[in-house]
Amino acid sequence: MTTLDEDARAKLVENERIKLSAAFLNGAAVAIFAVGSFAPMVTAMAQQHSGLFPFVIGLVSLIFSIYTHFQARRTLRDLKP
């Protein structure tokens, strides 16, 4: 193998690792939204007197989910052309 091939292969491997990390973070963001935001809000809507707490937890989880998603996007900036 030539040095050029090894460099191209190393860059490809590094890019795949970066994409895998970003996909993991994005999956975590989806899970945070589903468990922390969507489920409590659906439960609160089904109950008549659930109070404000589920909505506060849902909002905090939604914000954290969005933050995690943007961290995943930021990770993709490290891709090498």
So what's the pLDDT on residue 33? Answer: 93
So what's the pLDDT on residue 31? Answer: 96
Question: 66 is written with which tokens?
Answer: 């969005």
Q: How far apart are CA 6 and CA 3, in angstroms?
A: 5
So what's the pLDDT on residue 75? Answer: 96
Which portions of the chain are predicted below pLDDT 50? none
Which of 61, 23, 26 is CA-nearest to residue 40?
61
Report how far apart, in Å, the C-alpha atoms of 60 and of each of 14, 26, 65 are: 34, 17, 9
The H or E element spanning position 53 is: helix 53-75
Question: 4 is written with which tokens?
Answer: 């050029």
So what's the pLDDT on residue 1? Answer: 57
